[in-house]
A and B are shown apart, each in its own frame.
Chain A
């Protein structure tokens, strides 16, 4: 190991990340190498500065502004972001109604539902060719108009 390797270990030592075995080797090296001792002192001083200097102090009302933004995002003046149980009741009721509705409609096509029984005869007349969809009929009409 050279001084560069030991200096990397110094950095880990300052951060409390150096293992016991490496620590002993480093201590032996530091006892013998003035360049590395000097580097260690400088690194330690730098670390103290970075810890003590209180970099990037946040604005005093930061947390309050974060909470106010939540209130805005959730669209509720009281700032309730989390839906409480009673606020979920309408959603639950809607799901139940939809489930009942879907259950009642089971087995019927959307055409039957929208047009109803009285119009079924007319619809059958329009769709005499089995296998033709509504879009097929529209397409045929368009083709006929273009060919005129």
Chain B
């Protein structure tokens, strides 16, 4: 949809505020993956992450009036909602129990579903194996980090957000974000090189 591609997030959000469903759909297309990655990083479960995506966009729809471009970018505002939702899910005892019961080996996870990043048929076996190992190691190492370090690192590495934006999403100071990311990096290196 080229028309929507030309508009900034904030322009789309303002049109959505005025009642344009198509413009909000464009924002869903644009940000569902980012919300999913953050939710997945916090909740760790694919189903939990998808639930968070659904809930995040529903809440965003309902509270579009509270979005103010002068205070935060749309992405920052949306990911703040997503993080709060993810923490609610993550903190739920019921969810934790289900996740525990449904946990399975990461090797199985790598080949289980259509969204498996290693399912591309155009990659040769060697590079596929190498990517899979790298993915597994990175994911396993990230899961060993405390939630706040993991979230800060994911927002930086995957979403390319500034420390200031990450601080807004995490309701934290910029100096705390600096420390979280630095300590997260050190810990990840220790885990990966162990």
Contacts and interface: CB of A to CB of B under 8 A. Distances in A.
Interface of A: 7-8, 11-12, 15, 17, 42-43, 46-47, 49-51, 53-60, 62-63, 65-67, 69-70, 73, 79-84
B142 interface: yes
Q: Do most interface residues of chain B lie in helix, strand or loop, or is the interface mixed?
A: helix
Given A12-B178, A56-B41, 16 more contacts: A12-B163, A43-B185, A46-B185, A46-B189, A50-B153, A55-B40, A55-B139, A55-B154, A56-B139, A58-B37, A59-B46, A69-B54, A70-B61, A79-B21, A80-B21, A82-B19
B146 interface: no
A58 B181 contact: no
Contacts of B36: 56, 58-59, 62
Contacts of A49: 134, 138
B37 A56 contact: yes
Contact of B138 (A55, A59, A66): A55
B40 A56 contact: yes
A7 B24 CA distance: 42
A interface, by DSSP: helix, strand, loop or mixed? helix
Interface string B85-120: 000000000000000000000000000011111000
B117 A43 contact: no
B50 interface: yes
A17 B162 contact: yes
Contacts of B193: 42
A54 B193 CA distance: 21
Given A46-B192, A67-B25, A55 B158 contact: yes
A42 B24 CA distance: 41
Interface string B25-43: 1001100110011001100
B114 A60 contact: yes
Given A57-B117, A62-B50, A81-B61, A7 B162 contact: no
B82 interface: no
B58 A69 contact: yes
Contacts of A81: 21, 24, 61
Contact of B157 (A7, A50, A59): A50
Contact size range, B:
35 or more
B178 A66 contact: no
A65 B139 CA distance: 25
Contacts of B185: 11, 43, 46-47
A55 B134 contact: no
Contact of B19 (A60, A63, A67, A84): A84
B32 A62 contact: yes
Given A49-B138, A50-B138, A70 B178 contact: no
Nearest to B135: A53
B48 to A, nearest CB: 12
Interface string B136-179: 00110010000000000110111000110000000000000011
9 contacts: A11-B182, A12-B163, A43-B185, A46-B188, A46-B192, A55-B154, A55-B158, A62-B53, A82-B16
B49 interface: yes
Nearest to B58: A73
